[in-house]
Amino acid sequence: MAVVLDHSFTTERALDDSYGVILDLDRTVPCVQGATVKERTGPDSVKAEILVKMGAMSMTFTGSVDIVEKDPADHRVVLAVKSRETGGQGYANATVTFALRDGGGDIHTDAQITGKAASMGEGVVAGVLDALIADFAGKVGEL
């Protein structure tokens, strides 16, 4: 199942400071509710884990978050998230694009979900992802 979402955030930080914050995966990843960085695997990549609650069901996904594109001139960053459901067959992968500007930025998320999470239905999955990313956007703006 594919889910595409767009969010924006505001911040008091200078544009270059916001760009630096997004590139700091150790600070950015934990802004997602239930997410933790487990290990830094390179200058632009980490292993991470997230606990996601969908109704009465909870699932843990483990995987990687990699910076696959960074453009300091345009203040644009693209992250690739690849994760598998712990103890299950499903996965949750996403491409997350940050387009920063003075006073904030836009977050475009293109996610692919399979397994138990997808079986909850498109409306539930989209609702949970939308809430996670909206919360994330608020926290990123406050970093």
pLDDT digits (tens, 9 = 90+) for 47-90: 999 999 887 888 999 999 999 999 999 999 999 999 999 988 89
Domain boundaries along the sequence of the chain? 2-142
The phi, psi pair for 100, rounded to 5°, reads: -90, 150
User: At the top level of CATH, which class does the domain 2-142 belong to?
Assistant: alpha beta
Per-residue DSSP letter, 13 = S
Q: Which of 110, 95, 134 is nearest to 5 (CA)?
A: 110
Dist. CA 125–CA 127, nearest whole Å: 5
Task: Answer with the residue of higher pLDDT: 108 or 143.
Answer: 108
Identify the pLDDT of residue 36.
Answer: 97
Q: Structure tokens of 12?
A: 């008091």
Identify the pLDDT of residue 124.
Answer: 87
Q: What is the pTM of this model?
A: 0.94
pLDDT digits (tens, 9 = 90+) for 92-136: 999 999 999 999 999 999 999 999 888 888 888 899 999 999 999
- Burial of 82 (C-beta count, 10 Å sphere; 0-12/13-18/19+): middle
- The mean pLDDT value of the chain amounts to 94
Per-residue DSSP letter, 29 = G
